[in-house]
Amino acid sequence: MASLLIHALEQGLAYGIAALGVFLTYRVLNFPDLTVDGSFVTGAAIASLLLVNRGVDPFTVLLVAFVAGCLAGVVTGLLNTRLGITNLLAGVLTMIMLWSINLRIMGRPNLSLLRVDTATRIVDALWTPLGGLAILVFIALLTLAVKFFLDAFLRTELGFALRATGDSEAMITAQGVDTKRMKVLGLALSNGLVALSGALVAQYSGFADVGMGIGMIVTGLAAVIIGGTLIRSRRVGWMTASVLVGSLIYRVAISLALRYGYVIGFQASDLKLITSILVVLALVVPRIREQRMRKVSAC
């Protein structure tokens, strides 16, 4: 049970970085961005390519992946702000473009990292006093560092302008802010985070595959919505924390479904159904609680 929890936490936090990226566009900027299905793989692809072909150190590749993701976000931003393509469509177009680009980067649909020293492997070998928790601690430190940087950024003047762009574009334009630039910035930052997550997950899983980003928007949104339902706050620090919590819950739901689904007679193919039901429960329970409280106060 303990190792089940540890693995769920590891994945929950690693994917949590991508969820923070989705949070930035979907919640803060109010821009539903589908680029993430592609930029997640872009991060994984670039990281894997550099690790395998150029022997670049696994921690630097995370930074490079972040930059690559930013570029992908910029493309979507430009499609939307300069060419007037609607936000959903712009994201989809970039995602489709990235499918071909990612294949080009990797040179093949699947690139193995099993024979290379990845960040997680190095950490596991070096931090021996932590034993089986070494990788979890590493991922947790990285994710929390990202979270704090994001929190700090959102509290700067630029960050406020970004948040205002998502809240009320008209108002902030009247204040003299270039909302077009804000959108491009937000998309760049968001996809940078998603690509960083992709690079981390590729190293964690031992391979990069062109299909590993499929459904990333769903995973990200699930984390954002679950977290947002459980922890309601308008304060930045709590909002980003809720996203990470949501990501953890989602991954724990998957692990539980895998492990105990058979008890209810479910088969291997019912995994996605069970996971969704668990997520629905996670969303419904607080709502029932709220309704009960409202009924009481309505008396």
Partner 1 sequence: MKRVAICTVVALLVGVMASVGFAAPLKIGITKIVEHPALDAVQQGVIDSLTAAGYVEGEDVEYIIASAQGDMSVAASIAQDFLARDVDLVVAIATPTAQAAVEVFRGTDTPIIYAAVTDPVGAELVPSATDPSGNENVTGVSDMIPVAAHLKLLLTLSPEIEKVGLVYNPGEANSAILTEMALAAAPDAGVEVVTATADSTANVPLAAQSLIGRVDAYYVTTDNTVVSAIDAVLAASEEAKVPFLMADPTSLASATLTAGFDYYEHGLTTGEIVLSVLSGTLPNEIPVTFQPKAEVQLNLDAAGRIGFEFPLSVIEDAAAILYGGVVFERAAD
Distance CA 228, CA 265 (A): 32
254 part of the interface to partner 1, by CB under 8 A: yes
Per DSSP, 264 falls in state G
Answer for which of 56, 71, 103, 140 binds partner 1 (CB under 8 A) is 103
Q: Tokens standing for 234?
A: 């308008």
Closest CB 187 distance from partner 1, rounded Å? 24
Closest CB 16 distance from partner 1, rounded Å? 12
Distance CA 172, CA 110 (A): 45
The DSSP secondary structure of 16-81, one letter per residue, reads HHHHHHHHIIIIIS----TTHHHHHHHHHHHHHHIIIII---HHHHHHHHHHHHHHHHHHHHHHHH
Q: Which stretch binds partner 1 (CB under 8 A): 1-9, 19-27, 84-92, 287-295?
A: 1-9
Answer for which of 54, 129, 234, 269 binds partner 1 (CB under 8 A) is 269
**Gap between the terminal Cα atoms of the chain:** 45
Distance CA 203, CA 113 (A): 7
Q: Do residues 208 and 41 lie in contact, with contact meaning Cβ atoms separated by under 8 Å? A: yes
Q: Which stretch binds partner 1 (CB under 8 A): 85-93, 165-173, 181-189, 267-275?
A: 267-275
Q: Which stretch binds partner 1 (CB under 8 A): 56-64, 67-75, 111-119, 224-232?
A: 111-119
253 part of the interface to partner 1, by CB under 8 A: no
53 part of the interface to partner 1, by CB under 8 A: no
Neighbours of 269 (CB within 10 A): 7
32 part of the interface to partner 1, by CB under 8 A: no
132 part of the interface to partner 1, by CB under 8 A: no
Closest CB 151 distance from partner 1, rounded Å? 26
212 part of the interface to partner 1, by CB under 8 A: yes
Q: Do residues 189 and 73 lie in contact, with contact meaning Cβ atoms separated by under 8 Å? A: yes
255 part of the interface to partner 1, by CB under 8 A: yes
Distance CA 241, CA 189 (A): 18
By the criterion CB under 8 A, which residues form the site for partner 1? 1, 3-4, 7-8, 11, 15, 99, 103, 108-110, 112-115, 201, 204-207, 209-212, 214-215, 219, 251, 254-255, 258-259, 267-269, 271-272
